[in-house]
Structure 1
Amino acid sequence: MARPTPPRRPPAPATPPEPKVTGAPQRRRAGRAAGQPLPRTPRTAQGAAPVPGRGSATRPAARDRAPERPRGAERTRVADLAGARRARRWRPGRRTAVVLAVLVVLAVLAGWVLLASPWLRVATVRTQGVERTDAAVVQRVVDGERGVPLARVSARSLASRLEELPLVESVDVTRSWPSTLVVTVRERQAVAAVPSTSGGVDLVDGAGNVLVHEDRAPAGVPTLDVDVAAAGDRALQAAIAVNASLSSELRARVTSISATGPEAVVLHLAEGPTVVWGDDSRPERKAEVLLRMLSEEAVASAASVDVTAPDAPAVTP
């Protein structure tokens, strides 16, 4: 028995393909086509809508976005800001101006105290080393500095005025604050006494400069017995040079020095032989040989000793 054929169902209407949604405009068009109401998207206070899929973050509306600046302009702006910051950093402020003003005032005040105030003026002058020089003459020279500001005293000028005195070799001037000037005088030392035609002796230094006239030679200063008219100036200079080169030990035993020429200098001892010295060469060697020979009894009682050639001395009994 044949089964009855079931009635055919009408074919189901074809479901239209869903539109491909890729963005907000496409979603709105698809909703309108399906007859669904579109939800209203809340706007933010600045007029920007939330971006789907990114939480509550918002993107500013196109009309509210600031225009992008070119990279060159941004670099220029950064450089300008850095330059302004440096200029602001190095610009002297009010505090720097005050400090500079205070420093200027202090410098002016210090200059006035040193150069014009009555507190740092010379009130006392102390002299040292004056022995044979006339103290009254020295005092008159240094008294001219009294009342002068101590900082304005010219030590070189004062020393040069005192060095014009015959017996003064050099002068040292120092300041002792607040009001004392110390003048130290070094006098020329007389190394020999030269008999004078008018009587007495002239004391001379190692260079032959006459320092002072005395009635007789002081103790420890030998007399130069040189006839300048007959022997000449060179003989006197040779005698002075020999006397200046003698050691203190040997000079203490010499009473006088004579010379008939520049190469014929003779020493006269207080006790012992006459010493033929010769010229003024090799004084240290001659003095060494002479002192060693004088220590021998035979030489000490001799008439003369010749050390003209110190490496081959000769003794005259």
Structure 2
Amino acid sequence: MSRRKPTPPVVSTSGSPAKPGPVRVPRVNSSKVSLLDTADDPWLPAEDDSHGSVVEFPKPRKSRRRLYLILGLITLVLLIGGLLAYLIFSPALALRSVEVTGNSLVTSEEATEALEPLLGIPLPQISDEQVAELMDGFAPIESVTVAAVPPSGLAVNIRERVPVAILQSSGQFLLIDEDGRQLASVTDRDAVQLPLIDGGTDAVNSEVFSSIAAVLAALPESILNQLNHASADSVDSVELSLANDQTIFWGSAEQNEAKALVLEALLEAPPADPPAKVFDVSTPSRPVTR
């Protein structure tokens, strides 16, 4: 509670005691009184400054967490970038050995020699395209897939084109695929169990060859390996000869899959007595044997 200043006594000049009168207190406009005025003015009640001071609070934790998170991400990116740069250019991962699989027409030595320009290059810098480009000179190779074998190895898997027939030319036997592409050559006819097509290399450019090749490509390997010869007088008269002197009349290169299934069933059936010499599958819904 504030203490009020005592009222000063009234002194009479006439000799008789004076009556105390009202004391005038000047009005104060509270809106114009500053804190300094109120502190020095004894006529105003003291203000309670328990709520008047301004307290400065620390920054919210959320802002600091966001800052720490950004700094952490920047550090992580820099670390990953440095690691990638090390892996890409490090001599510790330089190619020193190559393993080739999936090849039969192309030897492993030939493939390894073709990839020698890649030796010494770090594995992360070697791509499938680079390997495929170096192997492009081998006709039998259709595609390649590459896998790194750390720290310094490379596994190359080759997918080769499939030969379907043989052409005879200049004392050699050429292995060809269904597109007429020459894949390899052998000097011993019996070393390859594929049918021989007459006409030499000139036959590849004929329409008849396309029909024969399409028929051979549709045959399962179990039948293809039994064939001795393939011929056709026209695109509609493809004829195949088996090694045991049996003949297959195929007709045109249409419905090849259905004809192959029918022929496979006929050859696997118990042999008749006497054994059939001709299998006519030109109409697969009505095969004929005789």
Q: With structure 2 as the length reference, what TM-score do the two structures score? A: 0.70
- Contact kept in structure 1, 2:93 and 2:152, CA below 8 Å: yes
Residue 283 of structure 1 aligns with an amino acid whose one-letter code is N
Q: Report the CA distance shift for 1:98/1:268 in structure 2 as closer, same or farther (over 3 A).
A: closer
Q: Does residue 1:310 correspond to 2:284, yes or no?
A: yes
1:301 aligns with 2:288: no
Q: Deviations over 1:264-299 (max 9, x none)?
A: 111112236322110111123223333444536448
Aligned equivalents of 1:231, 1:126: Cα separation in 2 = 35
Q: Is it true that 1:175 corresponds to 2:161 in the alignment?
A: no
1:110 aligns with 2:83: yes
Root-mean-square deviation (CA, aligned residues, Å) is: 4.3
Tell me which of the two structures has the higher relative contact order, counting C-alpha pairs closer than 8 angstroms and 6 or more residues apart.
2
Deviation string, structure 1 residues 128-177 (Cα, Å, up to 9, x no partner):
23332144432222121111122222331222221331121111111122
Aligned partner of 1:192 in structure 2 is 165
Q: Provide the identity percentage.
A: 26
2-side partners of 1:173 and 1:231: how far apart?
A: 33
- Separation of aligned partners in 1, 2:162 and 2:201: 22
- Which structure: larger Rg? 1
Cα-to-partner distance string for 1:164-223 (whole Å, 9 max, x where unaligned): 311211111111222222212222222211222x12311011322111121234343222
Counterparts of 1:26-37 in structure 2, within 5 Å, are 35=20
Change (3 A) 1:149 1:283: same
Match of 1:208 among 163, 180, 186: 180
CA distance in structure 2 between the aligned counterparts of 1:249 and 1:97, rounded to whole angstroms: 66
Aligned counterpart, 2:198: 225
Distance 1:113 1:298 in 2: 72
Code of the aligned partner of 1:261: S
- Give the deviation of 1:101 after TM superposition: 7.0
Q: Choose the corresponding residue for 1:289, options 262, 274, 284.
A: 262
SS of residue in 1 equivalent to 2:118? coil
Equivalents in 2 of 1:249, 1:194: separation in Å? Answer: 21
**3-state DSSP class of the match of 1:182?**
strand
Q: Take 2:270 and 2:208, find their aligned partners in 1: how far apart are those partners?
A: 31
The superposition leaves residues 47-73 of structure 1 with CA deviations (integer Å, 9 ceiling, x where unpaired) of 6779xxxxxxx9447xx99xxxxxxxx
Q: Which runs of 5 or more residues in structure 2 are unaligned?
A: 11-16, 24-37, 50-55
Equivalent residue, structure 2, for 1:140: 113
Listed as ranges, the gaps of 5+ residues in structure 1 are 1-23, 39-44, 51-57, 66-80
How far is the alpha carbon of 1:300 from its aligned partner? Answer: 6.2
Residues 29-178 of structure 1: pairs in structure 2 closer than 5 A: 35=20, 46=39, 59-60=45-46, 89=63, 99=72, 102-103=75-76, 106-107=79-80, 109-178=82-151
| Equivalent position SS for 1:144 | helix
**Are residue 238 (structure 1) and residue 211 (structure 2) matched?**
yes
Aligned in 2, Cα 1:103/1:225: closer, same or farther, shift over 3 Å?
Answer: same
User: 1:235 & 1:146 partners in 2: Cα distance?
Assistant: 46
Match status 1:249 vs 2:222: yes
Q: Secondary structure at the match of 1:309?
A: coil
Contact 2:203 2:209 in 1 (8 A): no
Structure 2 Cα separation of the partners of residues 97 and 310 of structure 1: 72
SS in 1 for 2:282: coil
Q: How many residues align?
A: 257
